[in-house]
Amino acid sequence: MIDYTPLWELMKVKEISQYHLIQNGIAGKTIYNMKRSCYVSTSTLEKLCKICDCTPNDIIKFVDES
């Protein structure tokens, strides 16, 4: 499972709001999905990396469900 907890922590550190994400092209439904660890596209991950000035490793982590 993909976990977006690192994204929320990074946003706190960099003082980036969810509203800022929406203003920069991330749909509210996408934010909703990320909060529930649902699928988002790689193009969305790319946008998030550009907005937060980071790499995918900084915003997602893999959690083994077994």
Q: What pLDDT shows up at residue 61?
A: 94
Q: What pLDDT shows up at residue 65?
A: 80
Burial of 36 (0-12, 13-18, 19+ CB in 10 A): exposed
Q: What pLDDT shows up at residue 46?
A: 96
Low-confidence ranges of the chain (pLDDT < 50): none
Q: What pLDDT shows up at residue 23?
A: 97
Q: What pLDDT shows up at residue 64?
A: 87
